[in-house]
Every structure is written in structure tokens, then in C-alpha cells.
Amino acid sequence: MRLEELTWPDFEAVKGKVRTVLLPVGSVEAHGKHLPLGTDVFAPVEICRRVEELLKRKGIDVLVAPPIWYGHSFSLNVYSGTVNVRASAFRDYVREVMRELADEGFERIVLLNGHGGNVYPLVEAGEELVEERENVEVWLINWWIDFRDEIFRVCDSQGHAGEDETSVILAIRPELVRMDAAEGRKVKYGIRIIKKDMGFEELPGAINDDPKGASAEKGEKILEAVSRRIAGMIAERESVSDSDSASDSNPDSDSEDS
Ligand SMILES: [Zn+2]
């Protein structure tokens, strides 16, 4: 179910039955010369779509909310097309959206993040929300970090606009990828030197990996593995919630069948 496709009476009927809402979060930013500016949104939106479908097959309904497009993207702001939102404004905005979702009654908000610069502001937004909404849990999933093992089963390397991300976009929106312009290299930096034009050094050409080994087939494998893992984790958590509420309502029930 997509939140934006429901009428408000539909939503009213749905919200009491659905515990989990998936919120894709990304950025509009430069991704090498070969990937679209919307890369960091396309990937989490597709993962959310797959997770929802996998869960539906298990009989679990979740709601997918429209994505947060603009993110915090300081270092890549030196490249054309990047739209950088100050970290504090981004954190506050995401927290407000989550607050609304929590007030609608959702117990679990899954932030499916596609962009590195968003990680710390999202942690803060989550912490601020749960300080005031005790019954809500916020999941922060950074797909390219949290499922690195799965990714390295498929790819030889990963990085911004690199083999993994390029593969994923080739699987989702091949018509937007310019593989003839795909070139880059891994830049290693041990410490972070913050300066206005740091993006030129850290991410020369708005890339930090060699994307030439990317393929749609690899992207499909990554999307499949990551979506399965996330769906499995949500299903597990939902069954725990089910057994909690079953034992709440019937204190005599034992937990054999949970
Ligand atoms: Zn990206």
C-alpha cells in the first residue's frame, strides 16, 4: 500500500491494522557522470516496494510513505545539481514527518535511507522522536552499509556511484544510466578534513569507486538480497508484537505456538 494513493477514509481504515510504515529517504545529488541525480531516492523506493510485496506474501501489511527527496549533502554540493539541505533543517523536517506518522498510530517507522550524509541527522531525528513517543520505534536502515556482506557476495567493490549503486540503478532505471561515461576510482582517506570544497578531493567527479564492473544482474541480486533481509526482520518483529498482544489479551495462553 502506498500512502499517497489512499483516500483519507481508506487511510483511516488501514491505520488501525498496520503497525509499520516504511519511509524512504534520499538526496538529490551528483553521482558520477553516469548516474541520475535521483539515485539515492530510486534505490530505497524500490527496496521499500519489494519489502512490501514480500511481506504481503507472508500476510503482513505495511504502508509505504512517499519519499523524502532532499537530503543533507554537504560535500557533493560542489557539483552541479546537488541540492543540499542543512543538517539541522533536514533532521527537524524528518522528525516532524515521523511525529505525524506516530500520531496516526504507527508503532514502527522504518527509515530506508539511501544517502550517507543523511545518517547522522537521521539518528538524531529518531532519538528526538522516541524521547517523546515512547511506544514508537524507529529503524534506521542504511542499505549499502547494513547489508555490506550481501553486497560483497555480488560486487568486488562499493562506493558512492560505484559498482554496487550503479548496478542497482541499472536494475531499476537502466534508461537513466550512461555506462559510456562511467568512470571513477576509489579514494582512500583516513581522516575527514572538512572544508568548503572537500568534495573535489574526497569524491573526484562525484564518485568514489570504479563503476565499470556494474551490471543490472548484480543490481537485481543486491535488491533481492537486501529486500529479503529487511522483510525477514520486519516479519520477525511483527510476530513478536503479535505474541505480545496475544499474551496481553489472554494471560492464560502459553507461548508454544508463537
Ligand atoms: Zn548515492
For ligand 1, the distance from its centroid to the CA atom of residue 32, given in whole angstroms, is 10
pLDDT of res. 257: 41
For ligand 1, the distance from its centroid to the CA atom of residue 113, given in whole angstroms, is 10
pLDDT of res. 244: 65
**Entry pTM:** 0.92
For ligand 1, the distance from its centroid to the CA atom of residue 246, given in whole angstroms, is 42
Evaluate whether residue 1 is within a structural domain: no
Q: Which residues surround ligand 1, an ion (CB under 5 A)?
A: 39-40
**What average pLDDT does the chain have?**
93
| 203-239: pLDDT as tens digits | 999 999 999 999 999 999 999 999 999 999 999 999 8
Evaluate whether residue 147 is within a structural domain: yes
Distances, alpha carbon 25 to alpha carbons 157, 181, 227, in Å: 24, 27, 16
For ligand 1, the distance from its centroid to the CA atom of residue 29, given in whole angstroms, is 8
| 56-115: pLDDT as tens digits | 999 999 999 999 999 999 999 999 999 999 999 999 999 999 999 999 999 999 999 999
Q: Based on the structure, what is the number of domains in the chain?
A: 1
Evaluate whether residue 126 is within a structural domain: yes
The pair phi, psi for residue 81, each rounded to 5°, is: 90, -15
pLDDT of res. 255: 39
Evaluate whether residue 252 is within a structural domain: no
For ligand 1, the distance from its centroid to the CA atom of residue 92, given in whole angstroms, is 22
**Residue 170 clears pLDDT 70, i.e. is over it:** yes
| Residues 6 or more apart in contact with residue 186 via CB below 8 angstroms | 157, 159, 162, 208, 209, 210
Domain that holds residue 31: 7-239
**Which residues lie across from 28 on neighbouring strands?**
83
Evaluate whether residue 135 is within a structural domain: yes
Strand boundaries in 66-212, DSSP class E? 108-113, 137-142
The continuous run of DSSP H or E covering 222 comes out as helix 216-249
For ligand 1, the distance from its centroid to the CA atom of residue 47, given in whole angstroms, is 14
For ligand 1, the distance from its centroid to the CA atom of residue 165, given in whole angstroms, is 7
Evaluate whether residue 70 is within a structural domain: yes
Evaluate whether residue 137 is within a structural domain: yes
For ligand 1, the distance from its centroid to the CA atom of residue 89, given in whole angstroms, is 20
Q: CATH number, domain at 232?
A: 3.40.50.10310
Evaluate whether residue 247 is within a structural domain: no
**Do β-strands 20-25 and 63-64 pair in parallel, antiparallel, or remain unpaired?**
parallel
Which amino acid is it at 226?
V
